[in-house]
Amino acid sequence: MLIIPAIDIKDGKCVRLTRGDFNQQKIYLDKPLDMAIIWRKQNAKMLHVVDLDAALSGEPVNFVRIKEIVEALDIPIQVGGGIRSVEAVKRYLDIGVSRVVIGSAAVTNPELVAELMTLYRSSRIVVGIDADNGIPKIKGWTESGSMQDYELALEMKKMGVERIIYTDISRDGMMQGFGYESTKRFAEKAGMKITASGGVTSSEDLKRLIELQQYGVDSVIIGKALYECNFPCQEIWYNYEEGICLDRNFSTARTR
């Protein structure tokens, strides 16, 4: 099970939201690049980066900050948030982004996904489905789609999409455990490669996720639980030789 730390960028800072609510945010570091370097030092094999400002506006507000992360790290970077055109996808792939996540556009402009699948390998384009009670939410989770989450996935599958990032919004940022049943239901019906997201809080959640591997769930994006040091093994990952550490609340970087 590949664990992918999440870096959400808003107003140029590294933040976490609660259930996607832009009015419920916590700033962890002023520079997203610093956060990316810390996760790499803690042995991350991939990062999931989201431009939250772009998710609302459709404009790549934090493109330069994402470019800094891609250029500084030696691991694959997956990027999402407001990517709604072929040009936007190409711009990210051209700077070295490994995978681009299409979210809202998969609902509002499925023709875009169809076109992208003719231009790029399926490994470069993934679709993010963020659902609340089985209904996809779009445009920064401010609007609802018109079909069930698995129905959307099956439409994407017909176009050649192989991987879905599935988020149970009701669990995201709540630190109350991930949506096991909702993720299992979705994975069973979709029959695709699934990256789970939203609500993973503890090692017990990870053990339950492993049970879903038989349904195609092979990776998980984790945000707040990592930032709040919920996993005991994180203490082992700190690289004291280079003097980098974070305090328990991840509010500031400090040295030892």
Pair type for strands 244-246 and 253-255: antiparallel
**Catalytic option among 130, 132, 149, 168:** 130
Q: What is the pLDDT of residue 224?
A: 86
**How far apart are alpha carbons 181 and 200 in whole angstroms?**
13
Helix 110-119 and helix 86-94, axial crossing angle in degrees, nearest 10: 40
One-letter amino acid identity for 225? A
Domain boundaries, the chain: 2-255
The pLDDT value given to residue 170? 72
What is the reported pLDDT for 187? 97
CATH class of the domain defined by 2-255: alpha beta
Q: What pLDDT, on the 0 to 100 scale, is given for residue 249?
A: 40
Within 10 angstroms of residue 241's Cβ, the number of other Cβ atoms is: 6
Q: Using an 8 Å Cβ cutoff, are 9 and 49 in contact?
A: yes
* Whole-number Å distance between alpha carbons of 160 and 167: 21
How far is the C-alpha of 230 from the C-alpha of 91, rounded, in Å? 36
Catalytic residue at 8? yes
Taking the chain (256 residues) in runs of 10, the rounded mean pLDDT of each run is 94 80 78 94 93 88 97 97 95 98 93 97 96 83 81 97 92 66 95 92 88 96 87 54 40 34
Catalytic residue among 8, 132, 149, 172: 8
